[in-house]
Structure 1
Amino acid sequence: MSVATSNKQGEVLGASLFAPVRPGALYEALLDVRGFPGWAPGVKRVEILEGAGSRGMVSEWEVSLLGARRKVLSVLEEAEPHGLLRWTYEGPISGYGECVIRDRGDGVLAEFRTQLRPEDVLLRSIMRSSPARGAARVELKRCLARLGQKVCGGGEVRVGPLAGF
C-alpha cells in the first residue's frame, strides 16, 4: 500500500486488490453502493438519490472520517463494464475515487485510488499528519481485504501497493 501522490488538492491514496473472481463480480460489488458499509466501516450509510447502478448515479453517503461524521454527495462519473469506475465527492468532503479492474485469467487485479479533501481546515490539517495518513493507508488495506473476501466468498485475496504483486 502506498500514497500515490500529494498535491494542493489533497493526498491521493492507492492500493491494489487481487481476488480469484471474474471481473464482473467485483464490478457489480462496487456498483452496489448500498453494500459499502458491509466492507468499509467508515461508511455508515448510503442512499441512492438517482440513477441506481449506472453512469450518473447520485448517492448520499454518511461517512466517519477521523471520528467526524459527514454527509457527502457522490456522482458516478464513469462506469465502463468490468473495467473502470470513477466517482467524485462533493460537500464538506470533496475529491474523487476510481477503480481500474483487469482480468488476470486466474482472477482480477483492481487498482484503487482516492483523494479526499475536507473543507474543514482543522480536519484537513489532521489528515495531513503522518499518523492520520498512516491510519488511512491501513484502513484502505483492511477495507479492500474485506471487499475481496465478500466478493470471492472466502478465497485467498491479496492487497498490496499500486504497482501490483
Structure 2
Amino acid sequence: MVAPIVVMGVSGSGKSTVGAALAQRLRVPFADADDFHPPANIAKMTAGHPLDDDDRYPWLEAIGEWLAARQAGGVMSCSALKRRYRDQMRRHRADVEFLHLAGSPEVIGRRQASRPGHFMPATLLASQFSTLEPLDPDERGIAIDVGQDIDSIIETFIAATDPDAEAENR
C-alpha cells in the first residue's frame, strides 16, 4: 500500500499545479479538492464569505474517502489549513503524507492576482493565512517554499519522504 499525498496550503500557493505534476511524476491519480465542494460552499466563497467548519465537514469527509480508496497511492490538492482538518482526513487513511506549499502573503497574493475567474476571491487570502496551522512535528510531511520551480519542489519532497529516493539517485 502506497501512502496518499495531500498538497496543502492557502489559496494561490500552487496546490493544483504542483499536485498534478507530482501525481504525474509518481504515476498515480490526481484530484483537486475544489472539485469536491458542494455548490453551496462555492457560492459562499464566491460571495466573499469564508467557509466555517460546518461547511467543511462533509467536504473533508469526501476527500478522506477518496484518499482511503487510493491503495496504490494518489495525490490530492487541498488547503488542509487546520490540524483538525488534516486529522479528519487521517481518520480515513492514517498514513497520509502532506506537502505544505508555504509562502509569504505577498508572494501568494501576487500569484492569486494572476488567476482571473477563480471562485476564491483574493479578499479571502488574509482569512486563509489567519486560519493556517502549519504541520506539527508529529504529522507526516514537510513544508516547502513556493518560491522554487515545480520540479525543485517535487524533488525536495520526494527526497525528504522516500528513503529509497536517495539510493536510486546514486
TM-score (norm 1): 0.29
More helix by share: 2
TM-score (norm 2): 0.28
